[in-house]
Amino acid sequence: MKGIVSCFLTALFWCAAPAAAQDDGKALVERTCSKCHSLTSTLKQRNTAEAWSAIVDDMIGRGAEGSDADFEKIINYLAKNFGPRVKVNKASAQELAGALEIPLAIKSFEDLKSAPALEGKNIEDKKDRLDFAAPQ
């Protein structure tokens, strides 16, 4: 499981998953995770990748069925779409970069321009991850 977590953490922070993989994850969650309870309260949660991974492990223990690859996609989808909110006015550069998928090692203006999050649509997708409360 450790391998899976670090692998998908990498994917979470440095790659924008293609839309097809997203749909896949959503369909898998709907199919796999709604067998025993509704998804309403599950999808109100916002958890880190590690916490989603632990929850999914717990659900496997309770009898959730699927392949390792399915569960990897499920964790990936949940962490990406139901991850913790980042307080924009309080977050460290690292937290903000992680949430917006801006690579940390930006060496040139070209790097910055090619950051996926800086294309309008991609940042729109991340809207729910951002909390604009004023700093205290």
Residues forming the site for ligand HEC (CB under 6 A): 32-33, 35-37, 42, 45, 55-56, 59, 62-64, 74
Cβ distance to ligand HEC smaller for residue 36 or 93: 36
Amino acid letter for position 37:
H
**Least gap, CB of 100 to ligand HEC (angstroms):** 25
The span from the CA of 76 to the CA of 6, in Å, is 11
Give 83's contacts (C-beta < 8 A, 6+ positions apart).
Answer: 12, 46, 47, 48, 49, 99, 129
Cβ distance to ligand HEC smaller for residue 45 or 89: 45
Amino acid letter for position 6:
S
**Least gap, CB of 51 to ligand HEC (angstroms):** 9
What is the three-class DSSP state of 108? coil
Cβ distance to ligand HEC smaller for residue 27 or 104: 27
